[in-house]
Structure 1
Amino acid sequence: MKHVEVGPDGARMGYVELQGDGPALVYLHGLGSCSVAYFARPATEPGVAGRHVLMLDLLGFGLSDRPASFGYTVTDHADAVARALDALGVTGADVVAHSMGGGIGVALADRRPDLVGRLVLVEPSLHPTPRPIPESFTEQEYVRTGFAVRLDDAGPQWAATMRLADPLAMHRSELGLGASMPVLDDVLLDLPMPRAVIEGGLSGWLADDPRLRAAGIPVHVVPGTGHVMMLDDPAGFARALVAALATAA
């Protein structure tokens, strides 16, 4: 694990780097996750192995710092990722972004298109959705007791990485996916770089999306998997990623 300073207050973003060829393949994880746990296994699969890889942990998650002065909104996260990539000298990256990370990836591509050569979204969060657990707690209450409620609701697989998250970061990040989240659907459609989408076959809410079809954004399905298809079927996810990067070329 390496770290790069992205602020505020000297906060550092943790990342794992794998040396390899081609433009950097940058992974952005979802809410309550961390990149290595979700993406390390697919990164060893044929077609993906051998790439230059950066698996970033968003501020407040995984092995990154947890600055209390950070806002943790989608755009806040996107700007922190941009600072990390700037510090690492990365431009024109292939960005692979899951769930909340998908919204962050769209915001990053919109605000800093020089950093994103191709964008692959994995069941992305693109518009506000109800967030009943964090919305029922004040920030202080969530830190004291609400985070434990959230962990219990998450189930054992998701909770395994959510335990690494800072409760304050969880509360602010999840509220940032609620009513205050910017609507990014049209932003995605208007981005200038090649884009593709991956979804689990058990999800089934993107493959027939008429707006994605009209925009020429292909959707690749990992059969028999759900929202965390990179854990359900790492090899299948890697195959879909290779195909998505090819169709987004």
Structure 2
Amino acid sequence: MYHAHLAARPELAGRRSLFVDLPGHGTSDRPQDFGYTLEDHADAVAAALDAAKVAGAELIAHSMGGAVAVVLAHRRPDLVSRLVLTEANLDASPPPTAGSSGIAAYGEDEFVEGGHARVLEAVGPLWAATMRLADPRALHRSAVGLRKGSEPVMRTLLEGLPVDRVFLQGEHSGELPGREDLEAAGVRVVTVPGAGHNVMFDNPDAFVAAVTGTG
């Protein structure tokens, strides 16, 4: 839960926060018969929101979770009033340097039997700490689903959504591809100084300002 440490910030007082680990990740169930596509994950989050009797939520999501949030907003517009996305995956077939690409390059059984351990050794400590909580098979299937993307692709879905949309890009991650087109579609793109992929840890003040609409 990458955002839990921010829930007690005074700027967010009065907001109801619901933290959701995707199936197979964190403390969520690890169903072996779950598809782990972006659509499957989006439907699972929708079920959680329905169970909590939430509608018109502000979805705050990171990386693959951002891709899931975009698909959810497209499939269930009644559940979403705003999106705050941190370096969300917007395109199918992410570059080879992306973590999901490295995972999806393995066969599923190959990843479960040894690739998972090798990936844990290769990634940074923060990502490794969260990956250790994920079921290896679920992690691989999710990476394959992310590489496949949605139809239409997430970028196209995001550009067409009628809700308020904010996209946070860490300064150290470089220029966001397609930024001008996103902004032309009404997406507010914010480059966060001093931050990389994990903006909520690298610059929490800027992150909270984006959530509250003050930054």
Q: TM-score, normalised by structure 1?
A: 0.78
Task: Confirm whether residue 150 of structure 1 aligns to residue 125 of structure 2.
Answer: no
How many residues are aligned here?
208
**Structure 1 equivalent of residue 171 of structure 2:** 201
Partner-residue secondary structure (3-state), 1:62: coil
The answer as to whether partners of 1:82 and 1:115 remain within 8 angstroms in 2 is yes
Partner-residue secondary structure (3-state), 2:190: strand
The answer as to whether partners of 2:171 and 2:193 remain within 8 angstroms in 1 is yes
Which structure 2 residue ranges, 5 or more long, are not aligned? none
Partner-residue secondary structure (3-state), 2:18: strand
Task: Confirm whether residue 84 of structure 1 aligns to residue 48 of structure 2.
Answer: yes
User: Residue deviations 1:129-159, cap 9 Å, x none?
Assistant: 1455334432112111111011112221110
The structure 1 segments of at least 4 consecutive aligned residues displaced by more than 4 Å after TM superposition are none
**Structure 2 equivalent of residue 181 of structure 1:** 149
**Larger strand fraction of residues:** 1
Report 1:27-46 matches (<5 A). 35=1, 38-46=2-10
Q: TM-score, normalised by structure 2?
A: 0.90
Aligned with residue 109 of structure 1, among 52, 73, 78: 73
What is the one-letter code of the residue matched to 2:111? Y
Q: Work out the CA distance in 1 between the residues paired with 2:122 and 2:202.
A: 20
**Structure 1 equivalent of residue 103 of structure 2:** 134
TM-aligned CA distance change 1:57 to 1:121, over 3 Å: same
Report 1:209-220 matches (<5 A). 209-220=179-190
What is the one-letter code of the residue matched to 1:235? D
**Structure 1 equivalent of residue 200 of structure 2:** 230
The answer as to whether partners of 2:101 and 2:143 remain within 8 angstroms in 1 is no
Partner-residue secondary structure (3-state), 2:55: coil
RMSD: 1.8
Partner-residue secondary structure (3-state), 1:69: coil
The answer as to whether partners of 2:25 and 2:135 remain within 8 angstroms in 1 is yes
Which structure 1 residue ranges, 5 or more long, are not aligned? 1-34
